[in-house]
Amino acid sequence: MRQGRMPEQRVRVAVDAMGGDHAPAEIVAGAVAAARDHGLEIVLVGKEPEVRRLLTIHGVDGQVEVVPADQEVRMHEGALSAWRRTRSSVAIGCELVRSGQAQALVSAGSTSAVVAAATRRLGTAPGVLRPAIAVILPTRPSPMVLLDVGATADPSPAMLVQFALLGTAYAGATLGVADPRVGLLSIGAEPEKGNRLARRAHAHLAAAPVRFVGNVEGGDLLAGAADVVVTDGFTGNVVLKSLEGALRFAVTEIRDALTAHPVARLAALPHRGRLRRLASRFDPDTYGGAALLGLSQTVVIVHGAARARAVTNACLLARDLAGTGVVTQPLAELRPAAGQDPPDT
Amino acid sequence: MRQGRMPEQRVRVAVDAMGGDHAPAEIVAGAVAAARDHGLEIVLVGKEPEVRRLLTIHGVDGQVEVVPADQEVRMHEGALSAWRRTRSSVAIGCELVRSGQAQALVSAGSTSAVVAAATRRLGTAPGVLRPAIAVILPTRPSPMVLLDVGATADPSPAMLVQFALLGTAYAGATLGVADPRVGLLSIGAEPEKGNRLARRAHAHLAAAPVRFVGNVEGGDLLAGAADVVVTDGFTGNVVLKSLEGALRFAVTEIRDALTAHPVARLAALPHRGRLRRLASRFDPDTYGGAALLGLSQTVVIVHGAARARAVTNACLLARDLAGTGVVTQPLAELRPAAGQDPPDT
């Protein structure tokens, strides 16, 4: 049995303290909360003096381990910087995971830099061509897995099929869906609608051992048309950020509309809590961590603007994923993880 | 001076009565409203007995011209069907425009079929490689042009540059923006972020005679980061439908939240009108028509689920666009339309 499968195994989570728009303060705060409030074993990787100073402020200096990394990859930097800077916090975080000193890495750094560093240093799981980033969207009636939202901008049709397998296993493990319906994001219901990639992927998916339900359109994403929606990392990233932006926009507009006039403001008072909860459901800080699927080790990516709460949630996700090993399975083992016999092999 | 430029010229709008999920009833109702309430000269193209029956119901038989077309292209059909069926309503509608019997075509039919028929029968404007569909999104503080939302799924970087020119002219003419800021939809602010197409298009756009402000991300779309946002027809279509879906979803969720409990329901009463107005602002029926830019004649595409109101709005847009000729200008004439001397030529 593979190590990562044993839930009773102790999981240490390495956290890239220097990645993110609000690093290191919010990252350290989130990691400290994960350790203190949830009992996680955390290793903070970053510029030691800064990180230690923050730990002292939180009153936990000496209680959370720090591994020094004297370089960082800034938010606007990409893959090249991540490869070159071998002493960056993200590179050293990967090395901790590779060497077994930690079982998962959490980073809010530049997505392309984290993906590049993790892919190079940890490698893909056996059989996997390229990794994919999966988010769980809080849709109704049940949540939905969307991938890839930014790891592989120009995948081949074969890679999209692998994303469907990875997403199926992920939905099974995290959402408990036994035989998740897989949709392909496209611009029409018919197989021949779409760009070149989507049309070719449709044909491949129809023959793949997943429960393929065909194309889904942008308007179906929040309408529960599928449990797993597969797309390339470019479209997925643009769509995810568009959805987040649209929901943020709607909540703001509604709040403004509800409080535009004194009488309306009074009438709106009982609704404040409801609006706040709704806004928070679509706040990326709530669902926070996105799993980097298809690598040989567990990596959780947090959005760049992450605050402490998102980092804490990402640490919890990383612990759970490392415990089950679902995101790091070899491709050949993925199908049974969906809880079903493969329809064909 | 080109014919189309003279606003005083009488504009006849051909309406494809058979295209759309609710054709012909809603299409005819919308066209009749355009004629009766707004004084437009309308030509309905479709199955004559059905269309005449509907005109009789509206009490305007004999007052709105009907041109018979005994074939139709169904909503799930694409380019091939549009090419083959020469007696389809969309094909005959195009022919009316080509021969000068009408000055614009409005269709809610299958987008790929309308684009294919219009491109083949009307041709692109001089210098234009491929057409693009542009929508005006009701963003704050000012509206925004998004293109392409579905005409050209796999454009080249050079085509994206042309879309930027077309969008600049369109924003100038319809929104009155003198020197619109053009953004490229991508997955990071830096030029090297994006898929192959976006990275190459970024370099081309930086050298093009438009006011290029760089990449914009999905989350910036509704935040007023640019006046014109350029993308390929696949991403644009997925994003447009995602935005519409997200806003529909938010309004439903908020309505549910506001009326979940009796007390809340009572307090929500004063807000009903506001919610309805907000919902309606993001209802595609309100902004309705999307201009097919870059053809030698005016074509307005309405979304497939269009009701009468959307069709009426599309007819009004078609009349205005045909009157100014802005969507059919040769590429070489597009730059001055932005209200600025080209920065380089």
Mean pLDDT confidence for B216-222: 91
Chain segment B1-50, per-residue pLDDT in tens: 334 444 456 899 999 999 999 999 999 999 999 999 999 999 999 999 99
Residues of A in contact with B267 (CB under 8 A): 267-271
Fold of B130-284: Isopropylmalate Dehydrogenase (3.40.718)
Indicate the DSSP class of residue B163: H
What CA–CA distance (Å, rounded) separates B120 from B114? 10
pLDDT at position B236, please?
A: 97
Chain segment A53-76, per-residue pLDDT in tens: 999 999 998 899 999 998 877 777
How far, in Å, are A329, B49, B138, B297, B311 from residue B327 at the CA level?
Answer: 53, 34, 20, 8, 19
The answer, yes or no, to whether residue B281 has pLDDT greater than 90, is: no
What is the least distance, in Å, from the CA of A57 to any CA of chain B?
Answer: 34
Residue A333 φ then ψ, to 5°: -95, 0
**Highest mean pLDDT: which of A130-134, A269-273, B277-281?**
A130-134
Partnered with residue B206 across adjacent β-strands are none
Task: For residue B241, give the nearest of A190, A195, A218 by CB distance.
Answer: A218
Task: For residue A187, give the nearest of B237, B274, B278 by CB distance.
Answer: B237
pLDDT at position B266, please?
A: 61
Whether residue A144 contacts residue A229, with contact meaning beta carbons closer than 8 Å, is answered with: yes
In chain B, whose CA is at the least distance from the CA of A232? B195
Residue count of chain B, please give it: 345
Indicate the DSSP class of residue B24: T
- State yes or no: cis peptide before B148, omega within 30 of 0: yes
DSSP class per residue in B104-136: EEEE-S-HHHHHHHHHHHH-BPTT-SS-EEEEE
Task: For residue A78, give the nearest of B192, B242, B263 by CB distance.
Answer: B192
Question: What does the mean pLDDT of chain A come to?
Answer: 87
pLDDT at position A2, please?
A: 38
Whether residue B33 contacts residue B42, with contact meaning beta carbons closer than 8 Å, is answered with: no
The answer, yes or no, to whether residue A256 has pLDDT greater than 90, is: no
pLDDT at position A116, please?
A: 94
pLDDT at position B17, please?
A: 97
Residue B19: closest CA among B79, B84, B72 = B72
The answer, yes or no, to whether residue A80 has pLDDT greater than 50, is: yes
Cα B336 to its chain centre, rounded Å, is: 23
Mean pLDDT is lowest, of A288-302, B5-19, B143-157, for B5-19
What is the least distance, in Å, from the CA of A209 to any CA of chain B?
Answer: 26
pLDDT at position B342, please?
A: 39
What is the least distance, in Å, from the CA of B148 to any CA of chain A?
Answer: 12
Residues of A in contact with B217 (CB under 8 A): 237-238, 241
Mean pLDDT confidence for A310-339: 81
**Residue of A99 and A1 predicted with greater confidence:** A99
Task: For residue A242, give the nearest of B194, B239, B274 by CB distance.
Answer: B239
The answer, yes or no, to whether residue A110 has pLDDT greater than 50, is: yes
What CA–CA distance (Å, rounded) separates A249 from B4? 38
Residue A223 confidence class, pLDDT cut points 50, 70, 90: confident
Cross-chain Cβ contact B195/A153 below 8 Å: yes
Cα B93 to its chain centre, rounded Å, is: 17
Question: What does the mean pLDDT of chain B come to?
Answer: 87
The helix/strand/coil state of B188 is coil
Same fold, A1-124+294-329 and A129-286: yes
What is the least distance, in Å, from the CA of A225 to any CA of chain B?
Answer: 12
Phi-psi region of B176 (alpha: psi -120 to 50; beta: other; left: phi over 0): left
The answer, yes or no, to whether residue A82 has pLDDT greater than 80, is: no
The answer, yes or no, to whether residue A217 has pLDDT greater than 80, is: yes
Cross-chain Cβ contact A271/B270 below 8 Å: no
Torsion of CA A90, A93, A99, A100, to 10 degrees: -140
Residues of B in contact with A276 (CB under 8 A): none
Mutate to test the interface with B, among A130, A185, A234, A239 (most CBs of B within 10 A): A234
The answer, yes or no, to whether residue B273 has pLDDT greater than 50, is: yes
What is the least distance, in Å, from the CA of B62 to any CA of chain A?
Answer: 38
| Sheet with A104-107, side-by-side order of all strands | A65-68, A41-46, A12-16, A104-107, A298-301, A290-293, A132-137, A144-147, A228-230, A181-185, A211-216
Residues of B in contact with A258 (CB under 8 A): 271, 274
Burial B94-126 (b: 16+ CB within 10 A, else e): bbbbbeeebbbbbbbbbbbbbbbbbbebbebbe
Residue A112: closest CA among A78, A138, A135 = A78
pLDDT at position B289, please?
A: 83
- Give the start-to-end residue ranges of the domains of chain B: 1-128+294-327, 130-284
Cross-chain Cβ contact A241/B153 below 8 Å: no
Q: Which CATH superfamily is domain A1-124+294-329 in?
A: Isopropylmalate Dehydrogenase (3.40.718.10)
Residues of B in contact with A245 (CB under 8 A): 218-223
The answer, yes or no, to whether residue A269 has pLDDT greater than 70, is: no
pLDDT at position A262, please?
A: 65
Residue A47: closest CA among A29, A21, A73 = A73
What is the least distance, in Å, from the CA of A265 to any CA of chain B?
Answer: 10
The answer, yes or no, to whether residue A151 has pLDDT greater than 70, is: yes
Cross-chain Cβ contact B194/A153 below 8 Å: yes
The answer, yes or no, to whether residue A93 has pLDDT greater than 50, is: yes
Mutate to test the interface with A, among B83, B137, B156, B195 (most CBs of A within 10 A): B195
Mean pLDDT is lowest, of A273-287, B147-161, B280-294, for A273-287
Fold of B1-128+294-327: Isopropylmalate Dehydrogenase (3.40.718)
How far, in Å, are B186, B290, B335 from residue B145 at the CA level?
Answer: 16, 10, 16
The answer, yes or no, to whether residue B339 has pLDDT greater than 50, is: no
Task: For residue B246, give the nearest of A188, A247, A254 by CB distance.
Answer: A247
B190: part of which helix (H) or strand (E)?
none
In chain A, whose CA is at the least distance from the CA of B253? A278
Size of interface A-B (CB pairs under 8 A): 200
Residues of A in contact with B150 (CB under 8 A): 187
Q: Which amino acid is at B133?
A: I
Residue A342 confidence class, pLDDT cut points 50, 70, 90: very low
The answer, yes or no, to whether residue B288 has pLDDT greater than 80, is: no
- Using the Cα atoms of residue B122, residue B128, residue B132 and residue B133 in order, give the sign of their dihedral: negative
Residue count of chain A, please give it: 345
% of chain A with per-residue pLDDT over 70: 85
Complex prediction ipTM: 0.88
pLDDT at position A336, please?
A: 47
% of chain B with per-residue pLDDT over 70: 85
What's the CATH number for A129-286?
A: 3.40.718.10
- Both tokens of B175, joined, read 């929104």
**Contacting residues for A19 by C-beta, under 8 A, at least 6 apart:** A27, A72, A73, A75, A89, A90, A107, A108, A109, A110, A113, A114
Partnered with residue A204 across adjacent β-strands are none
Burial B249-267 (b: 16+ CB within 10 A, else e): bbbebbbebbbeeeeeeeb
Chain segment B50-99, per-residue pLDDT in tens: 999 999 999 998 899 999 998 888 777 777 777 777 889 999 999 999 99
Cα A270 to its chain centre, rounded Å, is: 35
Mean pLDDT confidence for A162-169: 96
Indicate the DSSP class of residue B143: -
Residue B324: closest CA among B173, B180, B99 = B173
What CA–CA distance (Å, rounded) separates A98 from A104? 9
Mean pLDDT confidence for B132-158: 93
Residue A53: closest CA among A41, A66, A40, A39 = A66
pLDDT at position B336, please?
A: 47
Partnered with residue B71 across adjacent β-strands are B88
The answer, yes or no, to whether residue A141 has pLDDT greater than 50, is: yes
pLDDT at position A250, please?
A: 81
